[in-house]
Amino acid sequence: MVRGRKNPLFMGLAARLKTARKTAALNRQSVTQRAKLSDVSAVLGIEQGQRIPRLDTVERVAYALGLSPAFLAYGIEADASQPTDGLRCEGVASRLRQTRTDRGLTMRGLARASGLTDTAVRSTETGASVPSIATVEAFAIALAVSPGWLGYGLGPMELPGRRRVAASPAPSPG
């Protein structure tokens, strides 16, 4: 944890994956095969915290384990443990672009607010690359939305339990 900041939500991915895999009584190779991943070390790398996966990898692994990708990636409860006619993460480009413009931000403004590069914003918004779950969480924090919603279109747009800035101080009793 960085002093004064919470750990990112994706930091719990390794533990959530390992727990889910063991609960399903599957070994890493079985999960890799069910998820149709070409890299046989992907699940091991994620479980050991050695790699931060892309949205699509987490989504495939989540479905292989019967989980919601928003839960596996960020620990956010969302009802979606079954795949749709494509990957839910394919909508990240349009959700990011729409939310950024609704917030009145330029690509450069979002890049600065999220601590990422202009290229990261542009390549995500155009669909040129699939972002990592860390990149999506950085965008989500900058836009004040749920990373589960931004990455996968699951759950509420606003992260439940986030602190909200009060419009006015609460009245004092008495």
* pLDDT (tens digit per residue) in 122-170: 999 999 999 999 999 999 999 999 999 999 999 889 876 644 433 334 4
DSSP 144: T
Query: Which one is predicted more confidently, 159 or 48?
Result: 48
Kindly state the average pLDDT of the residues 82-106: 91
Asked whether the predicted pLDDT for residue 95 surpasses 50, the reply is yes
- Say which residue the tokens 């699951």 belong to: 154
Helix intervals (H) in 3-155: 13-23, 28-34, 42-47, 55-64, 69-74, 92-102, 107-114, 118-125, 133-143, 147-152
Residue type, 128: A
Asked whether the predicted pLDDT for residue 67 surpasses 60, the reply is yes
Q: pTM (2 decimals)?
A: 0.85
pLDDT at position 166 is: 35
Asked whether the predicted pLDDT for residue 77 surpasses 60, the reply is yes
